[in-house]
A and B are shown apart, each in its own frame.
Chain A
Amino acid sequence: MSRPVFAHGRLRLYLLKLLDEAPRHGYEVIRLLEERFHGLYAPSAGTVYPRLAKLEQEGLVEHSMEGGRKVYRITPAGHAELEARAAELAELEAEIHDSVSQLADQIREDVRDSAQDLREEMRRAAKESRRQTRFGEDASWRTDRESWQRAKEEWREAKEQAREQTREAKEQARSAKEEAREAKEQARAVREQAGREARRIGEQIKAHVRSGDWPSGLSEGLSELTKTLSGLADSSRWSSPANGGTADAPAGAGAAAPQDLPPWTRVDPDGEPLRELSALLDRFRDEVRDSARDAGVNRDSLDHARTVLADAASRLRRR
């Protein structure tokens, strides 16, 4: 690549020349450079100011404050330097007007330098901003640690929440199971009691039938059954079947232990309660029907049975 116009301190030389013409402030120097290059080259402030400062360090220029701005002027030493390099300056000026490619190189170098400076400055600013706006005053590794910490915290919370939910769900499942077990228990107790009552009543009816008093036996049996079933349908019995069942049950029924019941009242304790109940009712029906077939049924007893059974059903439905 061709040699830049201002390589090897030639921009420095040209700055001296500009200040030799007249004292100028920094901006004016930049503007004049631009002008001398017919607008083709606009050196950045980042190129010019440090060089002016360096010239001042070397004692070739000095500055004074005028209206709040630094105005640079050449010193005798600077003037001497310029005179000593007059030939070089003439060559430079010729080149400036002559070579576009060198000019372009200069532009490129200048822009590249300024861009580089800007990138570094903004990278620093970004780093600073990341530190200040997000995570306090420490270095960037801390940023990582803090966000990691935060992530861990969030994760822990999420885990806690999940665990809580699991615990609740388990709790619910357990209590649901408990309820189901209790319900089953109650259902079984009721079933057994119903079975006992039905059996007892069945026995009574049979006794009446045997003694030839079928209608009174049937009506008596059914009313007895109604009473007992309505007692069973009492909601208090459902909630505490163990106590209520025995306390309110007729003495005979309460005394009757399960093993004393006739075979048709037997139920499977592990079976599905609803199915067991319907099986029990089937067996009860068979029992009553068999007895009725043996002894015959008249209209009155049938009506009575209707009323009683409907009533019993509605009571059983009511919890």
Chain B
Amino acid sequence: MSEKWTVSEPQKITFGEPVRRVKVRTIAGAVNVVAGEAPARLEISEIDGAPLEVTVDDGELLITYEDLQWKDFQWKALSRFIDGWRQKRRAVVSLIVPAGVEVEIGAASSDTVVSGIAGKVRTNTASGDVTLVRVSGPVDANTVSGAVEAHGTSGGLKINTVSGALTVFAGTSGALKANSVSGAMTVDLDRPAAADVELTNVSGEVAVRIPAPADTQVRADTTSGSISSSFDQLQVSGTWGAKRITGTLGSGTSRLKITTVSGSVAVLRRPDEDDNPSAPEDSIPLAIDHQKGADEA
């Protein structure tokens, strides 16, 4: 069964049939995909320019402009097509879908939020920022200048940016592999034996924070960037020119590999914290015995 809508002004749609896969292709505005209880719901809260076409066909929900293809969001084509359409089309598209769906988003300058999804997530954007919150499925995110922020993700992350900054925090238990030309990378690992992390950057700075005691094999190289480590167990070598950090923390279950050309590299120890680092005056433990606290309340 196939259903089709053409949306030219703000509208909400609740889908009758189950959705297993979501594909969204937009130019400017925002795309939000959050996990929630069925049925799947769509909210187009703002729309300017050409109408969006919404189709549900055999469990696949497609939201796109008539003339837009997924191939338009591939690396080579991206810059070519942005210029033509960016000014003319704008839409804010929000979806509540079951957590298990597969998500594919192509957006030129739209900011993207994906929250709570457990299926495969793939996003290609040019200047749009990508925010991933508690996504447990594997993520493949590509941006040109858009920033990527991953909070509490637990699946594997594969991220490529040109100049967009990458921030990964509140834990990742899947492998993280990121490449950038000049985007800064900030990775805060909160588990001692987090999965393998491989970060490659040309001129962007890379900072990785590991909890102590850690369980990681570390290898960081930079051709001309500065380098620093706050772990005594790691060796910092090379005084000028190429520099390197090597060593094994704990039994070295996982691997951390950083490579830059001119970007600075820092391997930092995560401060011992049960509470929130931004509010150090507050001594409330965040994760200890909250059941007891709730009972008291």
**Are B284 and A118 interface neighbours, CB within 8 A?**
no
Main secondary structure of the interface of A (DSSP, over half): helix
Known contacts A42-B133, A101-B45; is-contact A107 B113 (Cβ 8 Å): yes
Mask, A104-145, CB within 8 Å of B = 1, is 110110011011011101110110111011100000000100
* Known interface pairs A40-B35, A101-B43, A101-B92; A150-B278 also in contact (CB < 8 Å): no
The answer, yes or no, to whether A24 is at the interface (CB within 8 Å) is yes
Establish whether residues B188 and A118, one from each chain, have CB atoms under 8 Å apart when the complex forms. Answer: yes
A24 to B293, CA, bound (A): 8
| Binary A-proximity of B220-255 (CB < 8 A = 1, otherwise 0) | 000000101110000010011000000000000000
Given contacts A119-B167, A122-B186, contact A112 B228 (CB under 8 A): no
Residues of B within 8 A of A154 (CB): 239-240
Give Cα distance in the complex from A104 to B105, angstroms: 15
CA distance A41 to B131 in the complex (A): 13
**Is B286 in contact with A27, judged by CB distance below 8 angstroms?**
yes
Structural contact, A104 and B116, CB atoms closer than 8 A: no
Contact with A along B261-295 (1 / 0, CB 8 A): 00010101000000111110111111100101110
Stretch at the interface among A46-54, A164-172, A228-236: A46-54
Is B50 in contact with chain A by the CB < 8 A criterion? Answer: no
In the complex the two chains form, is A114's CB within 8 Å of B228's CB? no
Asked if B296 contacts A133 (CB within 8 A), the reply is no
- Is B149 a contact partner of A99 (Cβ separation < 8 A)? no
Asked if A53 contacts B282 (CB within 8 A), the reply is yes
Instruction: Flag if A104 contacts B30 (CB, 8 Å).
Output: yes
Q: What does the 1/0 interface line of A160-199 toward B look like (CB < 8 Å)? A: 0000000000000000000000000000000000000000
User: Chain A CB within 10 Å — which of B96, B116, B167, B228 has the most?
Assistant: B228
| Bound-state Cα–Cα, A166 to B110, Å | 67
- Which residues of the partner chain B approach A26 to less than 8 Å between Cβ atoms? 276, 282, 284, 286
**Chain A CB within 8 A of B209 CB:** yes
A23 to B297, Cβ gap below 8 A?
yes
A9 interface hit (Cβ, 8 Å) = no
A49 touches B167 (CB 8 A): no
- In the assembled complex, the Cα of A49 lies from the Cα of B134 at a distance in Å of 21
Q: In the complex the two chains form, is B131's CB within 8 Å of A132's CB?
A: no
Q: Which residue of B lies closest to A131 (CB)?
A: B228
Residue of B nearest to A100 (CB): B94
CA distance A218 to B89 in the complex (A): 124
Contact across chains for A28 and B228 when beta carbons are under 8 A apart: no
Residue of B nearest to A112 (CB): B149
Task: Indicate whether A12 reaches chain B with its CB closer than 8 angstroms.
Answer: no
A67, B186: Cα distance in complex, Å: 35
User: A266: CB under 8 A from chain B?
Assistant: no
Verify A70–B283 contact, CB threshold 8 A: yes
Whether the pair A134, B35 counts as a contact (CB closer than 8 A) is no
Instruction: Point out the residues of chain B lying under 8 angstroms from A308, CB to CB.
Output: none
**B106 — which chain A residues lie within 8 A by C-beta?**
none
Give min CB distance, B39 to chain A, whole Å.
13
User: Bound state CA distance, A211 and B71, in angstroms?
Assistant: 122
A residues in contact with B188, CB < 8 Å: 118, 122
Given the interface pairs A26-B282, A108-B111, A115-B167, the reply to whether A38 lies near B94 with Cβ below 8 Å is: no
Q: What residue of chain A has the Cβ atom nearest to residue B234's Cβ?
A: A133
B3 at the interface (CB under 8 A from A): no
Contact B276 A1 (CB under 8 A): no
Which of A52, A107, A108, A115 lies in contact with B169, CB distance below 8 A? Answer: A115
Q: Are A104 and B34 in contact (CB under 8 A)?
A: yes
Q: How far is the CB of A105 from chain B (nearest CB, A)?
A: 8
0/1 string, A26-43, CB within 8 A of B gives 1: 111011000000111110
Residues on A with beta carbons closer than 8 Å to the beta carbon of B115: 40-41, 104, 107
Residue numbers in A under 8 Å from B133 (CB-CB): 42, 107, 111
0/1 string, B14-55, CB within 8 A of A gives 1 = 000000000000000010101111000101011000000000
A5 to chain B, nearest CB (A): 13
Identify which of A1, A24, A70, A108 gathers the most chain B CB atoms within 10 Å of its CB.
A108
CB distance from B129 to the nearest CB of A (A): 8
Given contacts A52-B282, A126-B266, list 5 more A-B pairs with CB under 8 A: A28-B297, A46-B277, A69-B293, A147-B240, A151-B239
Sample (21) of A-B pairs whose CB atoms are under 8 Å apart: A25-B297, A26-B282, A27-B284, A27-B286, A28-B297, A45-B276, A49-B279, A66-B296, A67-B293, A68-B283, A100-B41, A101-B45, A104-B113, A114-B278, A118-B169, A122-B268, A126-B228, A126-B268, A129-B266, A130-B226, A133-B230
Top 7 closest A-B pairs, CB basis? A104-B32, A45-B276, A126-B266, A46-B278, A130-B228, A49-B279, A100-B94
Q: List residues of A whose CB falls within 8 A of some B CB.
A: 1-2, 22-28, 30-31, 38-42, 44-46, 49-50, 52-53, 66-71, 99-101, 103-105, 107-108, 111-112, 114-115, 117-119, 121-123, 125-126, 128-130, 132-134, 143, 147, 150-151, 154
